[in-house]
């Protein structure tokens, strides 16, 4: 805006000179044009400085919130999902899906860790394609991923989980075939760690009853 108004002022002086016959027109131009150039240079420096600071801030934000391999969120994202300074989720009645790649160690041992990394990235792409914009995909650790589903009922949760599981099972674009097991649980309030624990219990049951399946947590699973 500063550049715009200074340019407009100089243009106005030039246009109005034949009528007003300014006595100091030469001085006006001598001071005005260099001042405009100086402002433009200053604005360019400021803009580039702020741009560089913005890019650095975005890079730091990405490092803080995103897993660098898969580009899914990392655990730090839960700060945004929780209420201020607490471990309580913002969303009542949300669901969690905790998923784990079946026999992932065998994938790494057979094909190498580079292929294992590609499998992780492929899984994230498949999962993201099945989620809504309001959902959260978080790399929980290793080959485990946590999904926070917002505004779903139980049927929709199970349908989404099965959709992801089948998409992974039928995927033929990866370096090798792989499957996943999924534990699902409903958030009942309080510390989100309890939600993850429930999903983990369901995941454990899925793993121990054949893998490549979805299991919904029930209270009777806790003895």
* Calpha distance 163→32 (Å, rounded): 67
Active site residues: 143
Q: In whole angstroms, give the CA distance from residue 116 to residue 89.
A: 32
Residue from 132, 129, 148 nearest 140 by CA: 148
Strand ranges for 8-131 from DSSP E: 95-101
Helix (H, G, I), strand (E, B) or coil at 211: coil
At CB < 8 A and 24+ separation, what contacts does 106-115 make? 107/176, 107/178, 110/176, 111/175, 111/176, 115/175, 115/176
Neighbours of 109 (CB within 10 A): 11
């Amino acid at each position: 805006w500063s550049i715009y108004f200074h340019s407009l002022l100089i243009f106005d002086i030039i246009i109005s000179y034949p009528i007003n016959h300014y006595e100091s027109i030469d001085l006006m131009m001598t001071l005005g044009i260099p001042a405009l150039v100086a402002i433009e240079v200053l604005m360019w420096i400021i803009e580039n400085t702020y741009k560089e600071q913005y890019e650095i801030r975005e890079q730091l934000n990405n490092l803080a919130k995103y897993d660098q391999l898969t580009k899914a969120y990392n655990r730090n994202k839960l700060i945004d999902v929780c209420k201020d300074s607490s471990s309580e989720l913002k969303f009542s009645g949300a669901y969690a899906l905790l998923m784990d790649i079946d026999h992932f160690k065998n994938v790494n041992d057979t094909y190498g860790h580079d292929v294992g990394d590609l499998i992780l990235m492929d899984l994230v792409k498949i999962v993201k394609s099945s989620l809504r914009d309001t959902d959260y995909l978080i790399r929980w650790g290793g080959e485990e991923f946590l999904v926070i589903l917002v505004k779903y009922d139980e049927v929709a949760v199970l349908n989404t989980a099965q959709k992801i599981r089948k998409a992974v099972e039928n995927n033929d674009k990866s370096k090798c075939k792989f499957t996943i097991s999924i534990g699902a649980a409903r958030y009942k309030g309080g510390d989100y760690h309890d939600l993850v624990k429930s999903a983990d219990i369901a995941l454990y049951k899925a793993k121990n009853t054949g893998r490549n399946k979805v299991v919904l947590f029930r209270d009777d699973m806790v003895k």
